[in-house]
Structure formats: structure tokens, C-alpha cells
Structure 1
């Protein structure tokens, strides 16, 4: 491994662990809102910080999930839960720092998940899907454990969309042979879109309510007969409004 690759690996690892810590703290914040005890804090922190990666590795079926092989990941997740147990993150700047780390993690996890899928021999579409799962899976598990609809399903600013963008960029650039550039672009673009969405309140629209017209002619025999009568009168040059018609 050359120096450039080592530097990139260290940057990715730092962002990865920082994202684990930030999401673990966010899991702890959710535990505080739900008035859970220390066990709840730690469990939600682990699921929030590591859930997406463990789901990805389980689906890839290539051995033990990476989060369980490297002790640094579990340490960061547990530490985040303990920190959130003792510290309330209601301050303006603490919230901003967490949002920044979380945004960087979206791009980083999307890139790592997509690249792992490609290295496992999967196609471009499964790679994008696994990149997204890596980024949003932990938050989904956290919300489900709290009996809530996952926030990525609606009512929240763009998050899964940021993961989709980052995963797609990573797959395209990786296919072109620019893995390092793809990782950097995915991290920056995913973070930028997430932060801009938070800043300006960008959300996806909910379901539309298009109404399908009622098939009157099929459900109403009288209307069908009237339609046939009107067509016959038109062919015969008969105006049904003329006096004496039908007499």
C-alpha cells in the first residue's frame, strides 16, 4: 500500500469512527427523549452507530461484520451512548458539530458500502442499495426499536437522498477506476446535500392523490345504451333535440 492509499485509508477511518461516535450520541439523545435507562442508551447507541454496517456485512455474507472485528467501532459506539447518558446535547454548537459529523458519515458510509458491494462482485444497482443501507440502516433500526416510523420515510430533511447521491457517485467513479476520487467526492457531496437540506428544510413530497375517473360506460348500462343511440342518430343525421324525434 503506497503512501497516498494509506493517507486515504486513515482519512476514511477517521471519518468513519467520527460518524459512529456522532450517530451513537444521536441514539443516546433518542434514548433520553424516550426516558430509557443506561442499558437503553448503550443499546440504541450501538444500533444507531453500527447498525447499517452490520446489516450490509450480513447481507454480503463474507464473514463476521467489520464492526465486530475492530474493537474501535464498538468502543466508539458505547462511548457515544455513555456520553449521551451524562451530557444533554441541547446547545447550539454541540448540535451543529453532531450534524456536521453525521453529514460526513452519510457520504463516507455510502462510499464504503457501495465499494464493498462492488468488491464482492455485485452489480451497480445492488452496490448503490447497499451503500444506502450502510448509511441509513442504523437510524432505521433505532427508530424501529423505539416503535417509530423511520424518519427517512418522510417528514425529515433529505438523508436517504444524500446517501443515494453519494452511493451513485461512488459506483460510477469506481467503475471508471477512480476509487480514491470517488470516495472523496461521495463524502463531500453527501455531506453538502445533507447540510443544505437541514439549512433550507428540503424534504421530499409525500404521495400524490391522483383520482382515476370512474368508467361510467362499463358500470352503467343505461349510459352505454344512450351512447350507442347518440352514435346511431349522428350517422343518420338525426338531431335528438328536433321536435318530433322519437315520436
Structure 2
């Protein structure tokens, strides 16, 4: 009985992820100005891509999206909503990050749970949970000839999926699979929203080069060294206070001598 409840909850979460990702795919299809066929194809690909990729890697029979009509119908429903509804304006700008976060949380939980259910260990479960969560978005970006946002330059996304998968695996390994599905979904979605709100991003690769790591460890990075070097150079090229005080007096002395010579020359006989 408990196993049936777990399977039903898993199915609900998986379908929720399909629906949310199909809507997101439709949003991008609208921005790309695709025709109706391209629009629906793109939205369905976005909605089913992560789950199909997960099932192919698990090699546990045909992908569930091709065996259960509910998945295809859910993806078509998401595509229809994003095609017919007005997905512009400030209201949508507030809604779509929530949909994106829900999609990430549900699919991370579903991917990790299915990996554990077929007998894989905790590490492959975390990996496949992450792939399931970000796979649809990565495929979506590749089809539109863009660098997948999950690879960088965006707020935390794959990191949120990893954390959600870890929560699922931890709860399941301790005998709380149902609690793990709920907690994992909430954790992934919540962390994704907070990261977007606070602007949390991972540093670029160059920021973690060996040279910069050593510089940060010694408390003297490149920018700081250049700033200190410029300050020392400016101080060295600046005249001292004594030299600045002598210069005007010296000029007046020389000028007075020349004036006296000129006056002496003028007072002499013509």
C-alpha cells in the first residue's frame, strides 16, 4: 500500500515537471517566433526531454513518456496553454520563475527516486536527478543554438538540483521515501527561487585559477598589487615638500639677480 502511494506521488511529481517545462518551452518558442508546428514540437521536447534522457540512461525499458499517454497529453496541455495564453507583462515575469523552480524541484526528486528504485547507488541517483532536472532546459537551449544556461552565467540552477537530489537520497536511504519526495521538491524549488531573488551565481572559471587562489590565500590579489604599485609609483614621482618649498624661492632669487643685472646694464653709460 505504501509502495502504491509512493508510485502515485512519483507520477504526480513527474507529470508536474512535464507540464511546467512544456510551458517554459512554449515561452521560448514564442520568443523565437516559431510557427504552430514548431511551437508545439519545441514545447513537447522541452517538457519530455529530461525524463526521456533519464529513462534512456537507466535502460529500464522504453521511456515512460512513450508508454504512458498521460505524459504526452500533459506536454500538449502545457504547450496549448503557453500558445493561447498571454505570457507577457509584469504578471508573467513574476509567474514564470516560480514555474521554472517547480519544474526543477519535481524533476530532481523524480529522477533521483527512479534511479534508486531500479537499484542504483546514491551517487548515480544524485547524478541522474540533476540530469533529469536540467536536461530539458539544456536540450531546449541547444535546439535554439544557445549555450545552455545551466553551464554558467546564470543564477544557481544545477546546484539547486544537486541539493534537491541529495535530500531525496538521504531521506530514502533512512527509510523515508515519501517524505524525501516532498522535501526534495520543496528544497529544490525554494533554493532556486532564493538564488534568483538574491542573485546567487557561481564564480567563473578564471576566478578559481591557481594563481588567483594563491593570491587570495596570501591576501594579495592582482588588482590589489596593481593598486599598491600605482600608489608607490605616484608617491615616488611626486616632489617632496622641501623641494616644493625651495622651487618658488629659487625662481625669485634667480629672477631678482637677472633684474639687477638688467638694471645695472641700463644705468651704465650709453
Cα RMSD after superposing both structures: 2.1
The answer for the alignment partner of 1:164 in structure 2 is 162
The runs of 4+ residues in structure 1 deviating greater than 4 Å are 8-12
- Cα deviation, residue 30, structure 1: 0.9
- Cα deviation, residue 85, structure 1: 2.5
The answer for the alignment partner of 1:202 in structure 2 is 200
Q: 1:38 aligns with which of 10, 31, 36?
A: 36
CA distance in 2, matches of 1:114, 1:11: 14
Q: TM-score, normalised by structure 2?
A: 0.72
- Cα deviation, residue 50, structure 1: 1.0
The answer for the alignment partner of 1:83 in structure 2 is 81
The answer for the alignment partner of 1:104 in structure 2 is 102
- Cα deviation, residue 5, structure 1: 5.6
Q: 1:53 aligns with which of 51, 54, 58?
A: 51
Q: 8 Å contact 2:20–2:102 — kept in the other structure?
A: no
Q: Structure 1's 11 and 116: CA in aligned 2 closer, same or farther, altered over 3 A?
A: closer
- Cα deviation, residue 211, structure 1: 6.3
CA distance in 1, matches of 2:47, 2:17: 7
- Cα deviation, residue 118, structure 1: 1.5
CA distance in 2, matches of 1:93, 1:19: 21
Q: 8 Å contact 1:110–1:134 — kept in the other structure?
A: yes
Q: Find the structure with the greater CA-based Rg.
A: 2
Structure 1, unaligned runs of 5 or more: 213-247
CA distance in 2, matches of 1:211, 1:167: 30
Q: 8 Å contact 1:27–1:48 — kept in the other structure?
A: yes
Aligned residues: 211
- Cα deviation, residue 31, structure 1: 1.1
Q: Which is further off, 32-41 or 82-91?
A: 82-91
The answer for the alignment partner of 1:72 in structure 2 is 70
Local SS of the residue matching 2:156: coil
The equivalences for 1:110-149 within 5 A come to 110-149=108-147
Q: TM-score, normalised by structure 1?
A: 0.78
